[in-house]
Each structure stands twice: as C-alpha cells, then as structure tokens.
Chains A and B, each alone.
Chain A
Amino acid sequence: MTGTDGGDPWDVVRSLPTGRRVEISDPRGPTWTGTTVPRQEMSGERIVQLKLDSGYNVGVRVDPSFQVRLIGDDPREERKRAPGPTAAPAPVDDAPWVALLTTGGTIASRVDYETGGVRPVREEREILEFYPELGTRGRVRIVPVLDRLSEDITPSDWEALASRVVGVFGEGAQGVVVAHGTDTLAFTASALSFLLQDLPGPVVLVGAQRSPDRPSSDGPSNLAAGVEVARSGLLGEVVVVMHAALSDGRYAIHRGTWVRKMHSSRRDAFRSRNGPPLGFVDATGIHFEQPVRPAGAGPPRADGPLDPHGGLLWFYPGLTPTQAERFADELRGLVLAGTGLGHVGAAHLEWIRRAIGAGKVVAMTTQCLEGNVDPFVYATGRELQRAGVLYLGDLLPEAAYTKLLWALGHATDPRAVEALLLSDVAGEFQWRHVAGDEA
C-alpha cells in the first residue's frame, strides 16, 4: 500500500495507529524504516516520529513526494506477550499488613519504552513488580484512592484520603503509606495531620522527586523506607518520609505540619522547617531525634469537614489593597504570608479592618518560612494585631492554610475559629528554636 496514488502521503502517515511498521522513502534521499510512536505534542508540521530498528526515534518531515509503505504490524508484538515477573508470594490472610494508598503521583507509574508514554500503576501485582522488596517483609495491600497529579488535588480529596485512612485502619492495617505527587505533598501532609485524630499507627506520605522511569529514581527507596516506618507502629501521627540527602540509604521522617518542598527537583527537597526532622531511617533501623506523638489505642477519626472558604495570600510589594480585598471577598478566612516578622504594607490595614469587621478571620505567617511571626517589634505589626490579625507563631503558610480550612469546618464564630487556630492540634507549633548546626 502506498500513500502516493494521487493522495498526500502525510494523510496516510498521520492516521496510522501507534506500533505500525512503516517504510517512508524520500525519492532524493534515504528510506526510513521504523515503527510509529505516539505523536509528540511538540512536534512540527508534517513530522512523524518513528522508532528505527536501532532503537532511536527520529522525526521525519513527510513531503508530498514521499512514498509510504506499510510493512505489517510490529513483529516485536510477539515479545510483549512474555510473562511478567512472578507476583508476590500468596499472602497469609491474618498476616500483618500495611495499606498503600495511591493518588496518582509519579511514585508508581510505568513507562512504555516503545513510546515514552507514562501511566500510573494501579494493581498490587504491578507495584510489587516494581518494588519487589516491599513484599519481602510482610504484606502491602494496594488501595487506589485518587488518580491525579498532585497539583490537581483539592481539599475534598484530602477528606476522601482521610476517610480511606480511617477505613483501612478499621480493616486492620498496621500502618498506612500514601504515595503522593511531591508538588503538593506537604499540603496534603498538613491537611491529614489536622483531619486524622487518635491514630493507632503511622500515616506516612512518600513521593518521588526523580521519575520512576529512570533506574536512579528515588521513588522505590522512599517507598521502602516509608513502608518500614508504617510497619514500625512507633508513632501515631502523619509524617513524610523522603531522602535525607543526595545519597540513597538515609531517609528523613518529617512531621506533616513542619515539612516543605524546598527544591524543585532534588531528592532531598523535603525539609523540616524551624528544626530537625523527627528522625531518620537507615540500614540500621529507625532513629528518632525529636519526641513523637505515640500511637493511640484508636479507633481513629476523620475529623472533617474542611471548609474550602479559606485562602492563602503571599504579600509582595506592589500588591494593591483592592486586589487583596477582592481576593478575600468570597472567603471566610485568610492566611497572609507576610514579610519578615509578619507584615503587610500599611495601606492594607484598611481592608483588613473591614474584613475582620465583616466576620472574616485573618491570620499572619511569615514568607521567610522559618522563625516566629511577632506583632510587637514594629509599628506595622502592632497595628495589624490591633486590627485583629491573628499571629500564628512559626506555622508554615501552608500548614496555617490547611489548619484554617479545618478550623472553619469546625466553628462558625470567628473567635472560635481563632481559638482553634491557636490550639495545638497536631504538634504543629515549635515553641523553641535552637541555633542548630550553624551556631
């Protein structure tokens, strides 16, 4: 079959399904023989991407003078039927188990080596194929909860996750691991910290900074370390377990409300602010360096709801009071990430007073991300505090925001919301900041 009996060969090529073997001949040049791969979204006009027999992909511009010949399906189809690696050993029903909740982040996705496409992994069998070591120390039961990138996750997803966590504890899980995309992992960790009460075991969020389609991915070892912590029963709170450094082999255990993604790509992007992590996991076991919240007798509760009518606003020079007031308009409460000790420009005092007068809650955190806010050091702080702005100590802006949604969900009176915001719900405040290694 050719595409040149009067027609445009591009029409033939563009309509080919993935995986067809094709020969494209340039009458003045070479003949390209290869297999069609999915069209690159960023490819140019009339360009077809072919996988050549050498394994290389190339883009060929299909000129109207070219000859196109289909040479059957990819003969390598046959090989794809090869049986997969053996699944995990059959679980003993009463054996202790850890629940692995998946949300669609990149910790568990599978690459199609023919095309480069990536799809999330859903089945237990598949996960164990990637991470065979998970099955060696006990059972891991896969519980798919969400299937979306972490930037698409919303507060209602946090509630859904929380109720699934409670559900699997009810079914007898020793601990829970949540595999999550790293972009908003810290938000989810904070939200779950406030939502989940009376935990009988660890809830561990893990992620991968480097994609699972590369042999160097940090996903497998983060997951293994996370399962280790979840199995340990050593704590009853929400934590994040990720690489502690650029090396494999040492993993930090961060309290869910203290942690933040501090780098866009490094493995050790997750850092506890204002102090060291709770502890570490390495080849010798789990070591705590801070007091942890112990596991309770249960039963756990999903302490919702969250009221999504809360917001987070990063102050910057140039932010006008009109813009800020408009942003606050539909909200019941607002967390400001202010400058330094917790300031916004004096011009903002007016709308803030109006907002608080109208029954909104306005709380202050620092965009420095470390250290306390303090309203008493400078005049602006004193004025903001007099206007009714609530200063939230050393809470990270993200932690304050998720706590606000939780507090708004639990009280209608602004003063009651403020009281909840100031209360210790999940060990989120650190009252003592030490100089640490830099001293």
Chain B
Amino acid sequence: MHIMEGFLPWQWCLVWWIIALPCLLLGIYQLKRVLAADRDALPLLGVTGGFIFILSSLKLPSVTGSCSHPTGTGLSTISFGPWITAVVCAIVLLFQSLFLAHGGLSVLGANIVSMGVVGPLAGYAFYRLLRDTSVNIYITVFLVTAMADLFTYITTSLELALAYPAESGGVVSSFLLFLGIFAVTQVPLAIVEGIVLALVFKYIITLKPDILIRLKIFSKEKINAARNEI
C-alpha cells in the first residue's frame, strides 16, 4: 500500500522523512552490531529483504492513491526487531520504486514510516508479549504478521487523511473514509498473509531451526516443542 509519487504535498513528504530518519539511523546502528556479532545473519537479512520485495509487489488496486498488498514485514520483525526492519524496508521500497515503478521517491519517507516503522513496531510489541508465554509459535507468527499488516494500513490511511482532510469533519472523517476503503481488501489480506508466514515459519523450523536459536528469536525448548508437533 505504497503511496504514489507526487501524491503528497511537499510539506507532508518532509514531515514523514523527518520522522523516518532517526528510525533508520537507529536501525543502521543495530545492523552494524548484529553483523559484527554474527556474519551469518547477512544471508537471512538478504532473503527477508527479497521476500518483502516479492510479497509487497503483489498489488491490488484500492481507491486511494495507493494500493493494497501484503507487506511481508512480519518475518523480518521477528528475526531482527523493528529498527533493522525499517532499514530493510527502506531498501526494498527504493528498489520497488526503481524496479517496478511502484511507490515513489519523494513519498519514500511516508512509506517507510507506515510499512517500515509503525507496522513492525506493532508486530514487535505482539511478539514480545507472546514470546515467553506458552502460546504456540505459529499463532505468535500469525498474530505478529497480521498486526504488522493492519497497522501499516492504518498509518497509510492517517498519512493520506492528514494530507487531504475532508471538508466536513476534517481529518477524522477522511481518515475513516480511507480506512473503510482499505479495510475491504486489507483485512482478508492480513489474515491470508498471517497464515502464509506461519506456514513459512513451519518450513524454517523443520529444515533450519539452528538460526532461529542462534539469533535468540525463540527459546530452544519452544522450538523443540514445535518440531515435535510436526
């Protein structure tokens, strides 16, 4: 659900860039630390980036300067936390605008905030909440992904509403209008994406559980429990 090039006035482009930049800097700092500690994380980072690219390229039209699609950020959020995800997302969004003419350069800041910062933060909150409880890994992954997706679309609606408030009712009513239009496609998509990523996680746990343990994503006991269920 990237906003299109030229859709936001320059004042708003600037505001979203200013919000996005500190998050990116924090992400770069963390990225350096993770890579210094464990170089093997690099392929996983690359794959999650490619994965976000492919998933968020499957777009459906939606009536608002923007379109609906899965975001794919859940996986990266769980593996590396929200700030590194912001950096990966920024790179992916840049590639999308230059490879597929999807998204834009001036609105990159706004798209980073919605897809790379707010969505992953919401997903990460759910992950932290559920990680140490006895909730099944797959349900955790499902919830994290679906929430990252839903919060991304709520933020996009807010960005559009702030730039184009309705005459009657102002920002609130145009926010509800954009939200309503997105909800039609995005709520089912969030659920499907959650299911798909939970299945992808099942593959990883079956075939390559070691990296999940090394990155301390889930505890060893929990992964062994999940493996035994399969």
Real binding pair: no
Contacts from B to A (Cβ < 8 Å): none
